[in-house]
Amino acid sequence: MRTRTLSLLAVLVLTVAACGGATTEETTTTDAAPATTTTQAPAEAPDAKRLTYSLEAGTSYEYEVTLDQSIQMATEGDTTAMGDEEIPGDMSVAVKGTTTFSHSVAEGPEPDTYEITITGDFSDLSITGTVDGEPIDELPDIAAMDPIEHTVVVDASGRPIREDSDEFGDLFGSFGGVPDMGDLGSLGSGFEFSHVGPQFPDDELTVGDTWTDTVEAPMTMGEDPVTTEIVSTVTAVEEIDGAEVLVIETTSTTSAIEFDLAEFLIGFLMAFAPEGGEGSEDLEALTENLRFLFSIDETVNDLITWFDAEAGLARKADYSGGTHLVMDINMPDEESGEMIGFILDMTLDQSVGYRLLGAETPSA
- Residue 124's pLDDT is 80
C-alpha span between 270 and 278 (Å, rounded):
13
Question: Kind and range of the H or E element at 310?
Answer: none
Phi/psi for 198 (5° steps) reads -85, 175
Of 106, 128, 109, residue with least CA distance to 118: 106
pLDDT band of residue 49 (cuts 50, 70, 90) is very high
The residue ranking higher by pLDDT, 363 or 244, is 244
Q: pTM value?
A: 0.76
* 199, 248 contact by CB (below 8 A): no
34-43, 133-142, 247-256, 355-364: range with highest mean pLDDT = 247-256
Element (H, E) at 254: strand 243-254
Q: Which of 13-17, 40-44, 264-268, 295-299 has the lowest mean pLDDT?
A: 13-17
At 121, the pLDDT band (50, 70, 90 cuts) reads: confident
Examine the pLDDT at 253 and tell me if it is beyond 60: yes
Mean local confidence (pLDDT), 296-300: 91
Q: What are phi and psi of 233, to 5 degrees?
A: -140, 135
β-strands 243-254, 90-107: how paired? Answer: unpaired
DSSP state string for 325-361: EEEEEEEE-TTT--EEEEEEEEEEEEEEEEEEEEEE-
What is the residue extent of each domain of the chain? Answer: 7-358
What are the DSSP calls for 264-285, one per residue? HHHHHHHHHSPTT-TTHHHHHH
User: Residue 79, SS3?
Assistant: helix
pLDDT band of residue 16 (cuts 50, 70, 90) is very low
Highest mean pLDDT among 14-28, 124-138, 141-155, 173-187: 124-138
103 contact partners, CB below 8 Å, separation of at least 6: 60, 61, 62, 63, 116, 117, 118, 195, 196
Using the predicted structure, report yes or no on whether residue 12 has a pLDDT greater than 50.
no
- Lowest model confidence (mean pLDDT) among 113-122, 192-201, 303-312, 313-322: 192-201
Q: What is the pLDDT of residues 93-110, one digit of tens each?
A: 898 989 999 999 999 999
pLDDT of residue 270: 65
